[in-house]
Structure 1
Amino acid sequence: MAASATPVCPLRLGAAMGRPCTLALASVCLMDEPLSNLDAQLRQQMRADIRALQQRLGMTMVYVTHDQTEAMTMADKVVLMRSGNIEQMGTPAELYESPANTFVAGFIGSPPMNLLPAHEGRQLGIRPEHIRLGSVQEGLAATLQSIEYLGAESLLNCRLEQEGNVIVRLPGRVSYAVGDQVGLVWQCEDAHYFDAASGKAIV
């Protein structure tokens, strides 16, 4: 609000100004999905504004959201819950890079981690950006089902010969076509393993 503006109760302001003004009055904030009713463009701007205001005022904020983008971009620490139970607590990077179980792996990330059956009662997890395409002989055989070109990246939906689908994220535009036979290849250090029965990460 400009310095010359007439003082107004925050409750009488619109969403774009009322929420930041209300936030500025608090030392500890409990926020329950405050951006859920805003359009996408305003929601993106408000995420940045709330984060900047929180850092400037040095306040503690407990922020409830079902939107992982809000959690990952705004939080210093994330507590991911399911049915009232804490599945994992840590920094956004910790949840993304070292998920504690298959629920966290499948929830964090857009698109989420690919989960595939593996040997000896395990599940294999691999992030879409950690997969590259090679020949069928080189990697896990799959058929390209669809391509989503998003400008800076492309998302490729690959159908495995055995069962299931794998999403691959590649930079920019790709030269592949729907129906191509490809091999899915990744580095061993990028793979995650989970117990198939409990879903817990195997470290």
Structure 2
Amino acid sequence: MNNKTLSQNKMQTKKSASKSGVKTKLTKKMDSSRKVSNSNLPTKKPISKNDLVSKFQEMRNADSNSTEEAFDLYDRLETVSLIDIIGRWHGSGFKTKHTMDGALETFNWYGKEFINTENVHPLVFKGWGGKLFTVNPSLMPVGLATKIPSTNLGFLTPIFLLFRFLFTTSKSKARIRMLEFRGKTTATMIYDNLPINDVFRKVDDNTLMGCMDFKKMEQPFFFVLERD
């Protein structure tokens, strides 16, 4: 082996050592970053299922809850499978000082119906005489409801029911899939023509807490579904 070859080997060894050293530093830096990131994650104190259900009922009956309080409860609830959500559900509000609090009830909202994974009626309303009818969400002023408080709009109920034929449809307007939201994969209703996902968590076998994740809405909207 001549001097030139020895020199080349030494240079290659130095380059390899240098790359190894840089890689080691980067790895340590990434590990350190992960530790800092993980240390900033909020930790929730464990709570029993019975206490969780009691907390849900307490907050559901409250005049108002903060979005943070609602998410603290929501995040603790179990996920829901697609098979468990099939059927018709009666809906009601979960107040968080949102402009949509009471909006659906103003128009005699009944709930939602999940026929199967591909066929869902996201908005079911109750007409005169208790007859149920399904509505096309794209024809409802959803965007407006996120900006204007829905209080004192009861006078609109008879007008909506009188002209409901303008909004009704027999066609499915949503589907359900298992999607990840806030770190958990759960049953989610995806609207066909609106940038909205309704993401569900289970309070018990017959009660769900929903979170409306609307792309155009900063504050999430919470609601409750109870199995018929």
TM over 0.5: no
| Larger relative contact order, structure 1 or 2 (CA cutoff 8 Å, min sep 6) | 2
Higher strand residue share: 1
Higher helix residue share: 2
Under a length normalisation based on structure 1, what TM-score does the superposition of the two structures give?
A: 0.24
Whichever of the two has the greater Rg, that structure is 2
